[in-house]
Amino acid sequence: MRHPADFAGREITFEDAGGVRRGDRVIFKPDWQDPGDESVVFVAVDDESNGRVTVQDANNDLEIKPTQVVATSMIRSIVRPGRE
């Protein structure tokens, strides 16, 4: 398996990523998306723990951003920030 840093800035499968880290963009499997979710940028606000991670909509302008805790089994892929 390649090191997660090798994938910085590109969409990679959840399995290849080796887990979700704070700051990763999270892309959900189609079964877990609502209509319009393809345009929402979900970002992990903490590191994965016990098969769960907390995410927020990064484009939400509310002062207090709604958060949700999701199971990692719902995640199709991630985009890890960093070098392109």
Whether the predicted pLDDT of 69 surpasses 90: yes
pLDDT value, residue 74: 94
Check if the beta carbon of residue 24 is closer than 8 Å to that of residue 80: yes
Which three-class secondary structure state does DSSP give residue 83?
Answer: coil
pLDDT value, residue 6: 47
Q: What share of the chain is helix, strand, coil (3-state, %, to 5)?
A: 20, 30, 50
Q: What is the CA radius of gyration of the chain?
A: 12
Q: What CA–CA distance (Å, rounded) separates 7 from 34?
A: 27
Tens digit of each residue's pLDDT (9 = 90 or more) over 2-57: 444 444 577 888 888 888 999 999 999 999 988 888 788 899 999 999 999 999 99
* The model's pTM: 0.79
Q: How confident is the model at residue 76 (pLDDT cuts 50, 70, 90)?
A: very high
List the chain domain ranges: 4-79
